[in-house]
Amino acid sequence: MKLREVAELLEAQFLNLEDEGDREIESACAADLLSDILAIKGGPALTVTSNVAPQVVRVAEVMGIPAILYVRGKRPAEEKVVDWATGNGIVLLSTPIPTFEACGRLYLKGIRCSEGKYL
């Protein structure tokens, strides 16, 4: 699924790198604690979070996370955090929708958990 389609599906706004809308996302994960984001297994994936601390963007760079989706209309307070993400090629999206609904919509479109299959 392209980030552009993710944005459309979730009524989300690109906070940066709008021209990266063609970037493909196959899997996703959701976490608010930085400790949890750092412990996520599997490859790079769209990360759904309500944590707007600048450290989330740092962690994303370290982990090679291609895009962050902030829920509930949140966004980093400082513009320099957005600039830093831009400089490192990390796409930031912000949706007014809460985590559960956002993940549910993505799941229905075929996006699966980046950590593998659970049953």
Chain contacts with other proteins (rule: CB under 8 A): 32-39, 42-43, 51, 53-56, 58-59, 61-64, 88
Helix (H, G, I), strand (E, B) or coil at 42: coil
Calpha distance 32→10 (Å, rounded) = 19
Nearer to other proteins, 54 or 96 (CB): 54
Give counts: helices (H), strands (E), the chain: 5, 6
Q: 5 or 115: whose CB is closer to other proteins?
A: 115
CA dist 29 → 14, 78, 83, 86, 108 (Å) = 19, 24, 23, 21, 15
For residue 36, count other CB atoms closer than 10 A to its CB: 13
CB of 68 to other proteins, least distance (A): 13
CB-nearer residue toward other proteins: 8 or 26 = 26
CB of 64 to other proteins, least distance (A): 6
Instruction: Write down the least CB distance from residue 106 to other proteins, Å.
Output: 22
Q: 37 or 102: whose CB is closer to other proteins?
A: 37
The Cα–Cα gap between 80 and 69 comes to 18
Work out how close the CB of 36 gets to other proteins at its nearest, in angstroms, rounded to a whole number.
7
